[in-house]
Structure 1
């Protein structure tokens, strides 16, 4: 019995050391430019850029296979940061998918919801909670407003509404050039 335990202990140590060596020897380095771009993307995984998530978009940008102006949730600020990292010319944001004037969140009419879970499967950030054949609800602070849950709802019980302004979400409006010229 003790011999069997010793054999297993020796085998475990051997395979552990072998795995540790393999981890060091065969380490795969990621693309540092893609890592840097991915760190500034909003991580909404919404797919509005045409890629299945933020990481594939960052990799395409690092390889030069995508435009810098496709991240709608990130907006103009993220586009500028991406163009600085990739040393590419900034562009106007993608006009085919303009950002909303104000942040939107999904709201589920819980009286109509049938609990089909299609919206839960479509949500890239797990902002919808509920179970099969029970009503669902949206966690407002987690919702990115990507609208991926709206078209999959078979009973059309999901609406996009403006995010309620609170002291935590309100921002001073940026002055535009026309208002500054008129003040002079």
Structure 2
């Protein structure tokens, strides 16, 4: 292990492991690497606060300096809380959470696993219906006074498990795509889509598409295999219309809630200056809603089965 790498490991051990990216890097270890290599200062971590800076200064044999306000302010530790009455089960917050602190699945309501949440705020910006609030849970305590080494160690373990799962999912997805490309090159028929959809549709982002599009047929229409084609088409259209109406109602409630909170100066925090990865998720969600006729001022009719693009 090189001297710089060894130093980065020691720096990483002193960081709170919230993985919030407020330091300007994609996680605590990348920030530690930047400090060790002289590319970043040791006062860019708001969750660590003054105590965190003091710890790093002692390790580096540097003077204690104030927290750089460009990266935020030390604050009481918050916890994400999801308003389940507004949640539409889009899974975007699950994708954004760096420690898998949100439980849920496509088309199901999500909830926060309290003991895992690091208060990083990363789930707030991607939410298309603004149903996540960051609620302070440590009173007036900030920085390491509001966090413990045990919590930091657990957060690191959860983050590493999250990263390992993402890498495994990516490898499996690439293997499926390579196998499909090989079948196509050989002139063999591609494998039919399963009830879970094509390999691409296994991605959470595609699952969100399926929710917004109303692509899944209703249980009634799936079970009635002897219905005439026209009747089945009518049922599918009705199911899509119902899903569209539910989503539009959720969006309307969320917009009203956002307007009320904004008027009171209590709007969502940390929705600006987010990392490039989170901003990409926000842009993707916005593009998806516009493509599906779910924009803020949308008055378009619900999608019909013929309008729903087929994946795969």
TM-score (norm: length of structure 1): 0.70
1:56–1:164 distance in 2 versus 1, CA, 3 Å? closer
4+ runs of 1 displaced by more than 4 Å?
A: none
Higher mean C-alpha displacement, 88-97 vs 115-124: 88-97
For residues 101 and 78 of structure 2, the distance between their equivalents in structure 1, rounded to whole angstroms, comes to 13
Query: What displacement does 1:88 show?
Result: 2.3
What 5-or-longer segments of structure 1 have no aligned partner? 1-27, 166-170, 173-184
The reply to whether residue 90 of structure 1 matches residue 59 of structure 2 is no
Query: Quick check: which has more Rg, 1 or 2?
Result: 1
Q: Is the 8 A contact 1:41 1:78 kept in 2?
A: yes
| Paired residue secondary structure (2:58) | helix
Q: Is the 8 A contact 1:48 1:72 kept in 2?
A: yes
What 5-or-longer segments of structure 2 have no aligned partner? 140-144, 147-312
For residues 115 and 138 of structure 2, the distance between their equivalents in structure 1, rounded to whole angstroms, comes to 11
Question: Which residue does the alignment assign to 1:143?
Answer: 117
Query: What displacement does 1:85 show?
Result: 1.6
Q: Is the 8 A contact 1:68 1:90 kept in 2?
A: no
Deviations 1:114-163 (A, max 9, x none): 11111011111111110011000011121111111111100110011121
Query: What displacement does 1:111 show?
Result: 1.1
1:36–1:164 distance in 2 versus 1, CA, 3 Å? closer
For residues 79 and 59 of structure 1, the distance between their equivalents in structure 2, rounded to whole angstroms, comes to 16
Q: Is the 8 A contact 1:150 1:158 kept in 2?
A: yes
Q: Is the 8 A contact 1:105 1:140 kept in 2?
A: yes
Query: What displacement does 1:89 show?
Result: 2.4
For residues 164 and 113 of structure 1, the distance between their equivalents in structure 2, rounded to whole angstroms, comes to 26
Question: Which residue does the alignment assign to 1:69?
Answer: 43
For residues 63 and 134 of structure 1, the distance between their equivalents in structure 2, rounded to whole angstroms, comes to 44
1:127–1:61 distance in 2 versus 1, CA, 3 Å? same
1:164–1:69 distance in 2 versus 1, CA, 3 Å? closer
Q: Whose helix proportion is higher, 1 or 2? A: 2
| Paired residue secondary structure (1:68) | coil
Q: Which has the higher contact order (CA 8 A, sep 6+)?
A: 2
Question: Which residue does the alignment assign to 2:88?
Answer: 114
Q: Is the 8 A contact 2:46 2:74 kept in 1?
A: yes
TM-score (norm: length of structure 2): 0.42
